[in-house]
Amino acid sequence: MQRDSLILATAINARYTLPLIVVLLSLRAHLRPPTRPVLYLVQSGLPEAHLEILRSLIDLRLLHPTPEQLALVPSDARFPREAAMPLLLPLILPEHLDRVLFIDADTLILDDLTSLTEVELGDSTLAAVPDAAIPSCGAPRGVKTGSRYHIPPGRPYFNAGILLMEIQRWRTRDLTPLALDYLRETGEEVDFLHQEALNAVAWNQWVPLEPRWNLVASLAGRSYGPPLPASDLEHPAIVHFSGRFKPWLHPVGGPFASRYAHFLEQALRLLPGGAQPSLRDRFYGLYDRRIRRHAYWLEHALWKRRIL
């Protein structure tokens, strides 16, 4: 692979083609030459027409896990199997790759990503942003069996939506088998699948990134969100629309909605009819725009108790 290549990876099903187009359009708008982006994609159920649109936007390399490999990837009623695909990537990516940036498809890129991929990791296996909702491994909905892994309760917990991965080191340290063991042992108590498992087995193997590399849109810049440096909000790099508030399905609140709408308009020209919101989706949009700032205290209390 050429030195000026930006190696990305993600996984989607057909419902996420439209937001992935938004990711790629926003990536192209902010990437400085001569960097050439390459996307390794695990996909499920994408029509050939969708793949052709993606190929028109980026050098696309399809990954084809075996049925046995796919069976390893956890899923539950809240998250599709594709959500936990970072666990599988070290098993299916080409052997010659070293550093790969995994990026969720529900994101918006607002800066050049080259400097992110050049972050110094030392002897660590990955880099990620501390989670905005789960401050530590010992917090509610953090790591469930932290004592077994000798994790200090106050150890920061990271969000796995953006992961800078040292693939060879990941393989050597058996992070995928260890994470899968955690998921089997913890069972139904697991909250966030691969994210929780990786925090358990790699708690001392990650480097924290600045919040601007993974700003959670439902919290960042909101009155009820965590305090952030003004520079992060004024010059975000990656905005992450995690959770139920998906801006390609319904208008959302917050400071990044208009910038997402800009790229969504372009994406819908490439994939007309790509957004098919349900009544539930429309309610989430209304809640996020009009109600959430008043009801967040209740939402968060229910969330901590695993009711939401």
Is residue 116 pLDDT above 90, yes or no? yes
Q: Which of 62, 68, 59, 69 is nearest to 44 (CA)?
A: 62
**Amino acid identity, residue 285?**
G
Q: How far apart are CA 159 and CA 226, in angstroms?
A: 15
Chain-wide mean pLDDT for the chain? 93
β-strand partners of 240: 107, 216
- Segment 243-254 mean pLDDT: 94
Question: What percent of the chain is predicted at pLDDT more than 90?
Answer: 80
- Segment 261-267 mean pLDDT: 98
Q: Look up the pTM and report it.
A: 0.95
Comparison of pLDDT for 31 and 81, the residue scoring more: 31
The domain defined by 1-308 folds into Spore Coat Polysaccharide Biosynthesis Protein SpsA; Chain A (3.90.550)
Specify whether the CB–CB gap between 167 and 99 falls below 8 A. yes
Is residue 83 pLDDT above 90, yes or no? no
pLDDT of residue 3: 56
Is residue 298 pLDDT above 60, yes or no? yes
Burial call 93-126: b when 16+ CB within 10 Å, e when fewer: beeebebbbbbbbbbbbbbebeebbeeebeebbb
pLDDT of residue 2: 47
Considering only 3-12, 74-83, 186-195, which range has the smallest mean pLDDT?
Answer: 74-83
DSSP code at position 72: T
CA 291 from chain centre, in angstroms, equals 26
pLDDT of residue 1: 45
pLDDT digits (tens, 9 = 90+) for 35-69: 999 999 999 899 999 999 999 999 999 999 998 99
Question: What percent of the chain is predicted at pLDDT more than 70?
Answer: 98
Comparison of pLDDT for 153 and 248, the residue scoring more: 248
Specify whether the CB–CB gap between 217 and 233 falls below 8 A. no
pLDDT of residue 307: 85
